[in-house]
A and B are shown apart, each in its own frame.
Chain A
Amino acid sequence: AQKVTQAQTEISVVEKEDVTLDCVYETRDTTYYLFWYKQPPSGELVFLIRRNSFDEQNEISGRYSWNFQKSTSSFNFTITASQVVDSAVYFCALSDSNYQLIWGAGTKLIIKP
């Protein structure tokens, strides 16, 4: 069965600290896509990154970076030098062979000033 696990329900850090959000997935498909979305208090889901199963290169975008490891079925997300505006719920998702998005439960990130 396809499954996405975000074990961290809530993380609280002080501004400027680095923080890593964990995502572990399960799938039998050899071709799949992984995503991260951000949901600020306004409620609208904001796309952050998409990664296909054949591309294990890590990616960096400004203060955000992603570490994809097929060997451990993980797709972790790191925010460097966190800011208060990073406070949100972050979701990891898996697109299965039917192209349905299967979502993790989300990690609520609180950045304290």
Chain B
Amino acid sequence: KAGVTQTPRYLIKTRGQQVTLSCSPISGHRSVSWYQQTPGQGLQFLFEYFSETQRNKGNFPGRFSGRQFSNSRSEMNVSTLELGDSALYLCASSLVGGGGEQFFGPGTRLTVL
């Protein structure tokens, strides 16, 4: 079974630009969660989508948004990029979400210059 895939793996953007990251979950998994990982703040939950609906949202500004498609693939968008948005963005898929096991993709390394 293919694992969680994330594209692109690396991105370099400049302040003020916007970016879209993509995540394809494990086949059959309906829950996709997004996390931001930085050296200073560690791992922080961004949001979770389940069957195309946002089910949970972390404490991030509205510049961070996401969506999920009918095939469970998910995208995350960050608008008006700031230097502090430089991070590893991790996507995790789960069969049902909740307290279940989450399987992570390799992440997208975003650098904002």
Contacts and interface: CB of A to CB of B under 8 A. Distances in A.
Interface of A: 32-33, 35, 37, 42-47, 50, 52, 91, 93, 95, 98-106
Contacts of B107: 43-44
Interface of B: 33, 35, 42-45, 48, 55-56, 58, 88, 90, 92, 97-107, 109
A98 B24 CA distance: 23
Interface centre among A32, A37, A44, A47 (most CB of B within 10 A): A44
B17 to A, nearest CB: 23
A50 to B, nearest CB: 5
Contact of A47 (B101, B105, B106): B101
Contacts of B103: 47
A43 B106 contact: yes
Given A100-B48, A103-B43, A44 B98 contact: no
**Dominant secondary structure of chain A at its interface with chain B:** strand
28 contacts: A32-B99, A33-B99, A35-B101, A42-B106, A44-B105, A44-B106, A44-B107, A46-B104, A47-B101, A47-B103, A47-B104, A50-B100, A50-B101, A52-B99, A91-B43, A93-B43, A95-B98, A95-B99, A98-B56, A99-B55, A99-B56, A99-B98, A99-B99, A101-B35, A101-B43, A102-B45, A103-B43, A104-B42
Contacts of B98: 95, 99
Contacts of A100: 45, 48, 56, 58
A47 B26 CA distance: 14
